[in-house]
Amino acid sequence: MGVRIKGLGFYVPGKRLTNFDLEKMVDTSDEWIRTRTGIQERRIASNDEATSDLAYQAAVQALQRAQVKPEELDMIIVTTATPDYLFPATACIVQSKLNAQNAACFDVEAACPGFIYGLEIARGFLELPRYRKVLVIGAETLSRLVDWEDRNTCVLFGDGAGAAVLEKDNTDHGIISSYLKGNGALGQLLILPAGGSRRPATQDTVQQREHYIKMQGREVFKYAVTGMQEAALKTLERAHIKPEDITWLVPHQANIRIIEATRERLGIPEHKVYVNIAKYGNTSAASIPIALTEMVEEGKIKEGDLVLLVSFGAGFIYGGMLIKW
Ligand code: ACO
């Protein structure tokens, strides 16, 4: 018995923030951002939109496409680093909005690879007899945690959500293999220092701007490339598949140069790599489900395709997943 994605959906807020807009906010340029990251614009949630609102929109689309009613869901997993609250879980808020009254719900904080972690957790549950339909959502409003005075980080991130409905499947389609890994010793290189139990919010933490993302970009870059490569190769090895045999590489959209370096190291031709970073920037856990939804909408992914997902993020954690579509 396998596990297969039955429907996908995504949602991004309407407001576009272009590189030219950023030129007016910090000392940067469209040219620098484009050549260093591949990003041209990103979407920004409106003041009355939180992560659960984005997640809900993506979920509604995924459920429609999977032809699954909210009450049929056995579980809702939201993967996010930017929950509405520390508690209750964003998944509970989404459950309430959907009126998915039969679903268990919880959040997973696994940064950028969150969606891959979420799929793997869903797969585990779906291998048990009791669970039949699971909704996995990657959703972020990183614009709320970005320091809009820090040019090193504010140009990189965007808001969005992507969702997938997973079901048991008795064909040979679906999730084939995966690889999840952590390296917690390097956590300080990408961190949001305050607001948790280590550094609760005080006047001092606010004044020190500790409620914003702090990142040592060059170091993160280096580990991202090696982590993505390791995750891709181990995932393929576990499935006895060679890099040249995959149809699509769908990498986390963090930086075009990270994607390009990963692609080169794997020896995968450019036309097999899906890239949409120019439109959305780094949407963390939402980046892979947004990409997958677009690919399906555009008819790029076809039945039987071998699709390799790979991601890396704060923790550090990284992971890969191979899916036969
Ligand atoms: N505009 C203009 N100049 C800038 C900007 C900016 N927005 N940001 C940084 N610079 C400057 C720096 O201050 C530095 O100036 P200096 O040499 O005078 O000190 C110079 O540009 C070069 O800085 P580097 O850090 O060497 O630039 P790099 O080529 O590494 O690019 C970047 C920086 C884009 C952040 C890159 O390191 C990166 O993408 N790292 C990965 C980060 C990432 O993706 N994190 C997301 C979470 S993890 C993940 O999702 C993979």
206 shares a domain with 155 = no
109 shares a domain with 40? yes
- pLDDT band of 295, cuts 50, 70, 90: very high
Does residue 271 sit in helix, strand or coil? Answer: helix
The pocket around ligand 1, CB under 6 angstroms, is made up of 28, 32-33, 36-37, 112, 151-152, 155-156, 190, 215, 217-218, 220-221, 224, 252, 254-255, 282, 312-313
In a shared domain, residues 89 and 204: no
Look up the CATH number of the domain holding residue 195. 3.40.47.10
Note the pLDDT of residue 128: 96
Write out pLDDT tens, residues 158-190. 999 999 999 999 999 999 999 999 999 999 999
Average pLDDT over residues 117-134: 97
Q: Supply the mean pLDDT for the chain.
A: 97
Question: How far is residue 77's CA from residue 81's CA, in Å, rounded to a whole number?
Answer: 13
pLDDT single digits (tens) 2-50: 999 999 999 999 999 999 999 999 999 999 999 999 999 999 999 999 9
Counted domains in the chain: 2
- Tally the C-alpha atoms within 13 A of residue 251's C-alpha that lie toward its C-beta: 30
Please indicate, yes or no, whether residues 159 and 218 belong to a single structural domain of this protein: no
> Residue 137 sits in which domain range?
2-171
On whether the CB atoms of residues 202 and 208 are closer than 8 A, the answer is no
* E strand or H helix at 133: strand 133-141
User: What would the pLDDT profile of 51-68 be if each residue is shown by its tens digit?
Assistant: 999 999 999 999 999 999
Residues 182, 318: one domain? Answer: yes
Q: Are residues 77 and 50 in the same domain?
A: yes
Helices 256-266, 30-37: crossing angle, 10 deg rounding: 20
pLDDT value at residue 1: 78
Burial class (CB in 10 A: 0-12, 13-18, 19+), 126: buried
217 Cα to the center of ligand 1, angstroms: 5
Q: Measured in angstroms, how far is the CA atom of residue 250 from the centroid of ligand 1?
A: 23
Is there a single domain that holds both residue 125 and residue 38?
A: yes
Judgement on whether residues 17 and 118 belong to the same structural domain of the protein: yes
Among 116, 143, 171, identify where a domain stops: 171
pLDDT tens column, 237-291: 999 999 999 999 999 999 999 999 999 999 999 999 999 999 999 999 999 999 9
Q: Could you tell me if 164 and 136 are in contact, meaning their C-beta atoms sit under 8 angstroms apart?
A: yes
